[in-house]
Amino acid sequence: NSEVFILAIESSCDDTAAAVLQNDKVLSNVVANQLIHTQYGGVVPELASRAHQQNIVPVIDAALKKANIQKEQLSAIAFTQGPGLMGSLLVGSSFAKSMAIALNIPLIAVNHMHAHILAHFIDEEGFEKPEFPFLALTISGGHTQIVRVDGFFDMTIIGETTDDAVGEAFDKSAKILGLPYPGGPLVDKNAQTGNPLAFKFTKPKVAGLDFSFSGLKTAILYFIQKKKLENENFVSENMNDICASIQYTIIEILMDKLKLAVKETGINRIAIGGGVSANSGIRKTLKEGEQKYGWKTYIPKFEYTTDNAAMIGIVGYQKFLNKKFETATVVSKARIQF
Ligand code: KG4
Ligand code: ZN
């Protein structure tokens, strides 16, 4: 039987996720979000690991049931090794280890950031898989990287943030505007009916392909404080324009670096991944790059952009084919070598 069935588990941050893949096809992709963090304005690690413990068994059961697969049919278990919150990672890895031992099947460790990139190799109707080599822009709440991808296990970071991640820039700006956590999707929503050129924020000057976003957050904070002195209702009266202008500036920063990366590498295939690639402005601007700059762009299906287990499963499948297995002594890593 040449069919490979992978159960994948992702628990690096605040979402508990499980998926079942048959080769490179997703049979089920289940995510339990943790709403508890909203009231704290950010992810509380201790609460996240507790919620993972409650969610992991029901989420895995649901993934197997939805895929109509018995656990005895599984070929291997893949889990997120890192990067992420240690307490959260441990719940997923401990469960994966126990299950692999009980079923006597291989255990596969997956780097979360590799998974955001390789999510493009999930077989999905209407979505094309990128050809190697390509550039991947991974933008999430914890990371901002430009990666040169030469093969499934041959990736090099050629640019990354020197401070905040893009997702943080969105979330922290949103917080300044009084929007609830995580604010990124709300900035996106408000921006759709706002004028992106209403307010101007200066872009940081960072050499090469690296990024910086902490200055932008400070610039927005000072701008809002100043405007509020003149008109205390400034934010509510201009919410959509402010959001559109912030989003426009962030997209400009990303596009400037992408253009430079294409110039330096000579590679014009660009794939995006990570939670922030759900942003409608980023998707639209990137797509326009095909006409404008002759790029070929790859934008994943929405459910594979934010944290999910299907992306862990596709890396698991590739590692299974290459027999890249772990023993049960493998450890979770909050920080992991790319
Ligand atoms: O990849 P992800 O789900 O988790 C991490 O690994 O960090 O990314 C979450 C981040 C959050 O910062 C969230 O605000 C941002 O992705 N995000 C967005 C949008 N949807 C999610 N940011 C801007 N626009 C969106 N539509
Ligand atoms: Zn992520």
Does 279 show up as a binding residue in the annotation?
yes
Does 171 show up as a binding residue in the annotation?
yes
pLDDT per residue as tens digits for the range 203-241: 999 999 999 999 999 999 999 999 999 999 999 999 999
Which domains are delineated in the chain? 5-119+305-321 (3.30.420.40), 128-299 (3.30.420.40)
Pocket test for ligand 1, best of 302, 305, 306 (most atoms within 8 A of CB): 306
ipTM: 0.98
pLDDT per residue as tens digits for the range 106-142: 999 999 999 999 999 999 999 999 999 999 999 999 8
Cα–Cα distance, 325 to 319 (Å, whole number): 7
Pocket test for ligand 1, best of 170, 249, 305 (most atoms within 8 A of CB): 170
Q: Which residues sit with Cβ closer than 5 angstroms to ligand 2, an ion?
A: 140, 307
For the entire predicted model, the pTM comes to: 0.94
Does 138 show up as a binding residue in the annotation?
yes
List of long-range contacts for 215-221, beta carbons under 8 Å, 24+ apart: 216/169, 216/173, 216/246, 216/249, 216/250, 216/253, 217/164, 217/168, 217/169, 217/172, 217/173, 217/176, 220/173, 220/176, 220/246, 221/176
Does 141 show up as a binding residue in the annotation?
yes
Helices 166-176 and 184-191, axial angle in degrees (round to 10)? 70
How much distance in Å is there from the Cα of 335 to the middle of ligand 2?
A: 13
pLDDT exceeds 90 at position 42? no
Query: What residues flank ligand 1, with Cβ below 6 Å?
Result: 13, 140-142, 167, 170-171, 182, 184-185, 188, 274-276, 278-279, 306-307
Nearest ligand, CA 186: 1
